[in-house]
Amino acid sequence: MFGNVGRNPYLCQLLHIIIYNMRPLILISNDDGYAAKGINSLIEMVRGLGDIIVCAPEGGRSGMACAFSATEPLTLTLQRKEEGIEVWSCTGTPVDCVKMALHELCPRRPDLVIGGINHGDNASVNTHYSGTMGVVMEGCMKYIPSVAYSLCDHRPDADFSPMAPYVRQITERLLREGLPKGVCLNVNFPVLTAYKGIRVCRMAFGTWGNELQKARHPRGFDYWWMVGTYQNDEPEADDTDNWALSHGYVAITPTRMDVTAYEAMQEVQRLADGIEP
């Protein structure tokens, strides 16, 4: 009956939970910091689904993507502890937080890694910049089912409550069923009090323009702020995350750890043929 279980880490984990009556273990991080409303709302949404360990940056780390601290030491601080929940802060990046939690805080392999809830969307090319997605990519690279939740609202006091039933149900299903190897989920929510439903969709092609704003410092030198305006480069396409969000749907984008462009391999092979030292 269990002859193939050893080849599937998700089945092994599930079987371990069943046999030893262990509660699932959920690891949570973000890029807005441990005190942000989004991550604390997320904790309440998934409370009771398992034991929860939170390891998040001590402050905002937006735009860190998959960056990690190669030259700086890291520290951990326990912020609070209650039944089934520990909240830690780390001085590093979102990826540092996941690495630190897996190495120092988790008593066993987590059943799920969650990033978020992010203040602001992580649709389209924002996926590549996002520290929230850095969290779930790190989990995915460790072969742990991982999901990112984001709300298209940058305000510190954003209302996350409409997301609650969706976040809880998606989380429950991921704990029960897992994800294919090398795949994580990027889930974005529009700013609405009610959603039309869920769309599973691809990442839209988009670009950022006017990304730098120059100013003159009173001490006599120039400096720049990273700003920018986003443009959806395929506004008519109805199978993208941008379309889903702008039409009132929750957008779920399956995201791969393997970024190989398989469809281009033959063309690139032709470019490589005949090149010699």
Nearest Cα to 187, choosing from 195, 37, 53? 195
Q: What is the dihedral of CA 102, 258, 228, 123, to 10 degrees?
A: -80
Which pair of structure tokens corresponds to residue 156?
A: 């510190």
> pLDDT, tens digit, for every residue of 163-218?
999 999 999 999 999 999 999 999 999 999 999 999 999 999 999 988 789 999 99
Edge-to-edge strands, sheet with 112-119: 76-82, 85-90, 51-57, 25-29, 112-119, 146-151, 183-189, 249-256, 197-200
Mean pLDDT of the chain: 92
pLDDT at 123 over 50: yes
Neighbours of 194 (CB within 10 A): 6
- Measured CA to CA, the distance from residue 98 to residue 112 in angstroms comes to 12
pTM for the whole thing?
0.89
- Measured CA to CA, the distance from residue 111 to residue 52 in angstroms comes to 10
pLDDT at 139 over 60: yes
The CA–CA distances, whole Å, from 21 to 2, 52, 202, 205 equal: 18, 16, 38, 45
> pLDDT, tens digit, for every residue of 21-53?
589 999 999 999 999 999 999 999 999 999 999
The confidence score (pLDDT) of residue 2 equals 44
- Measured CA to CA, the distance from residue 6 to residue 82 in angstroms comes to 34
Nearest Cα to 8, choosing from 180, 227, 212, 150? 180
> pLDDT, tens digit, for every residue of 73-121?
999 999 999 999 999 999 999 999 999 999 999 999 999 999 999 999 9
φ and ψ of 96, to 5 deg = -55, -40
Contact 119/157 with Cβ under 8 angstroms?
no
1: pLDDT confidence band, cut at 50, 70 and 90? very low
